[in-house]
Amino acid sequence: MENREIAKAVIDAVGGEENINSIAHCATRLRVMVHDEDRIDKKRVENIEKVKGAFFNSGQYQIIFGTGTVNKIYDEVMQLGVTGTTKEEIKKETRNEGNFFKRAIRTFGDVFVPIIPVLVATGLFMGLRGLLTQPEILGLFGMTPESISENFLLYTQVLTDTAFAFLPALVAWSTFRVFGGSPVIGIVLGLMLVNPALPNAYAVAAGDAEPIMLFSFIPIVGYQGTVLPAFIAGIIGAKLEKKLHQWVSETFDLLVTPFVTLLVMSVLSLIVIGPVFHSFENVVLNATQWILQLPLGLAGLIIGGLNQVIVVTGVHHIFNFLEVQLLTNLGENPFNALITSGMAA
């Protein structure tokens, strides 16, 4: 079948154009919001050529076509006169659907998915640096590790360390964006959490620096490489900013709202949110590492076996948090290797 015929078949199978509220696509799936789910002929949809599966989740009927193909089918659907929408608009329509847990996980994914490309690029830079600095590779060009320029090593360090060093800024920016706050305030709040004036978290962990003790029992440190403190601070900060926009008169809003938001959230983040949620973050990370270190391939059986079931429920976005933490703290992501093998199997 030609792509135009496939597009027509999809429209007919989901109940016709009149049953389509909006339609968008992601990297692999055509996402259709329908007025009446009962009008969808699900067996017919799954038998259409190039369709690799379909399911209804979070208010969307998601038809899997695969990377590249879905873009072409979407274009054909648009040319047939169906009203489309952006993926962000469809997320807004579905944000309040489903139970609290599903809505929370969906929001988690909305925050972390936009950050993933940067982390992927950083990982590729790490791999490339590791390859180019191998003695065997250098030997092909008549070089040794000692002959590598210090400036070159410094440049590769900039490429590989920046995203993780300022990870809280990325997380806070994305969280503010998702929760309706000003992303630029999120960036500044995230940068405050890793300000060089604070004791570096890695240096404190290594015993090379001491935390600042507030009231003799609250440790104040930078939050380099952390995720959860910036995420929680972003949620509260965005909600506070929106409330301030309602309370403060338009005359003073431009000055007062950012000032109060950053003042309140910087204090809360460093004194309350940071210490509490960083401790919780460590518990989750340690539990994940314990599972990954199970003997006899048990980690692969547990994680690989459950992954696809979890993906179908849409809860898999919470894994983004775990993977970011593993990369930040270990410099590697064995969790992804297991779920990738599970998907391939």
Instruction: State the CATH number of the domain containing residue 85.
Output: 3.30.1360.60
Q: What is the pLDDT of residue 232?
A: 93
Residue 116 is assigned to a structural domain of this protein: no
pLDDT at 173: 95
- End position of a domain, from candidates 248, 279, 310: 279
Mean pLDDT of 15-36: 87
Tell me whether residue 110 is in a domain. no
Closest CA to 111 of 124, 96, 95: 95
Average pLDDT over residues 39-60: 88
Same domain, 79 and 170: no
Calculate mean pLDDT across residues 285-310: 85
Nearest to 322 by CA among 273, 284, 276, 265: 284
Q: Which of 274, 255, 276 minimizes the C-alpha distance to 265?
A: 274
Catalytic residue among 26, 116, 301, 343: 26
49 and 16 Cβ atoms separated by less than 8 Å: no
Active site residue 26: yes
337, part of any domain: no
Is 54 within a domain?
A: yes
Q: pLDDT grade, residue 339 (50/70/90)? A: confident
Q: What pLDDT, on a 0 to 100 scale, did the predictor assign at position 317? A: 61
- The answer to the question of residue 312 being in a domain is no
Q: 316 pairs with which residues across the strands?
A: none
Choosing from 71, 97, 123, the residue where a domain stops is 97
Under a CB-based contact definition with an 8 Å cutoff, are residues 17 and 11 in contact?
A: yes
Is residue 316 one of the residues assigned to a domain? no
Task: Return all residues near 55 (Cβ < 8 A) that are at least 6 apart.
Answer: 61, 62, 312
Number of domains present in the structure of the chain: 2
Same domain for 92 and 170, yes or no, is no
Q: Which of 7-11, 16-20, 120-124, 133-137 has the highest mean pLDDT?
A: 7-11
Query: Which of 336, 334, 221 lies closest to 279 in space, CA to CA?
Result: 221
Amino acid identity of residue 122, one-letter, is T
Residues 184 and 275 in one domain: yes
> Residue 13 has which token pair?
């199978």
Domain boundary among 252, 279, 306: 279
Distance CA 298, CA 253 (A): 56
Compute how many other C-beta atoms are within 10 angstroms of the C-beta atom of residue 331. Answer: 11
Domain hosting residue 254, numbered range: 166-279
Contacts of 340 (CB under 8 A, 6+ apart): none
pLDDT at 88: 56
> What pLDDT is recorded for position 100?
65
Tell me, yes or no, whether 72 and 172 share the same domain: no
How much is the pLDDT for 84? 59
pLDDT at 318: 65
Is residue 183 in some structural domain?
Answer: yes
The model's pLDDT over 250-287, given as tens digits with 9 standing for 90+, comes to 889 999 999 999 999 999 999 999 888 888 877 888 88
**Considering the domain boundaries, does residue 106 fall inside one?**
no
